[in-house]
Amino acid sequence: MSSFWVNGIVAVRDGKPYIQLSNEKGMIAQLSMSETRQIAMDMLVMAARTETDSMIHRFCKERGFPDETSGMMMMAFRDYRAELDADKAERPNDEER
């Protein structure tokens, strides 16, 4: 596994905060705060979802179910999550606050 670094900087050019992602070969990306938060949230969501997929796979394998069963169950869970993700919370306009 390669090394990976996360550094915070304040840019001289605009005085704004940025997060830099680097590895042993150099900087991979420089991200704004909103980009950083979105990527971090995406990583947390994907970590939880991948753990669930792994749990479904293990459950089916330990019980001797055919390989297709775990795949079908994972797809059913993913479809359900997609339905939940599509349900967006309503927020009042800033003017109404």
Residue in the block written with tokens 């869970």:
77
As a whole number, mean pLDDT of residues 69-85 equals: 93
Beta bridge partners of 17: 10
Backbone angles phi, psi at 69, to 5 degrees: -65, -45
pLDDT in tens, 16-70: 999 999 999 999 999 999 999 999 999 999 999 999 999 999 999 999 999 899 9
What span, in angstroms and rounded, lies between the C-alpha atoms of 78 and 92? 30
Based on DSSP, count helices (H) and strands (E) in the chain, helices before strands.
2, 3
DSSP strands (E only) in the chain = 4-10, 17-23, 26-31
